Amino acid sequence: MAFTLPDFNLPVDIYTGPWTTRVLRVSVMGNLAYSRRVNLGPEQQSGEQYASAAFMSLLLPALTDVRSYLTTGQADSVEVPAGSGRWYSVDSVDDIGKGFANEHRCAMLSQSSQFLNAVQYPGLTWPIPIP
Domain range list for the chain: 10-36+52-111
Rounded to an integer, what distance in angstroms lies between the CA atom of residue 28 and that of residue 54?
23
Which pLDDT score is estimated for 52? 46
The model's pTM is: 0.83
The tens digit of pLDDT for each residue in 21-46 reads 999 999 999 999 986 656 555 555 45
**Do residues 6 and 34 lie in contact, with contact meaning Cβ atoms separated by under 8 Å?**
no
What is the DSSP code string of 4-50?
Answer: -PPP--EEEEEEES-GGG-EEEEEEEEEEE--S-----TTT---STT
Which pLDDT score is estimated for 38? 61
The tens digit of pLDDT for each residue in 79-95 reads 999 999 999 999 999 99
Which pLDDT score is estimated for 100? 92
Which positions ≥6 away from 61 have C-beta within 8 Å? 8, 28, 29, 30, 104, 105
Nearest CA among 43, 60, 63 for reference residue 51: 43
| Strand partners of residue 60 | 105
**Do residues 91 and 108 lie in contact, with contact meaning Cβ atoms separated by under 8 Å?**
yes
For 118: left if phi > 0, alpha if psi spans -120 to 50, otherwise beta; the answer is: alpha
Q: What percent of the chain stands above pLDDT 70?
A: 83
Provide the b/e sequence for 79-94 (b: ≥16 CB within 10 Å).
bbbbeeebbbbbbebe
Instruction: Kindly tell me if the per-residue pLDDT of 49 is higher than 70.
Output: no
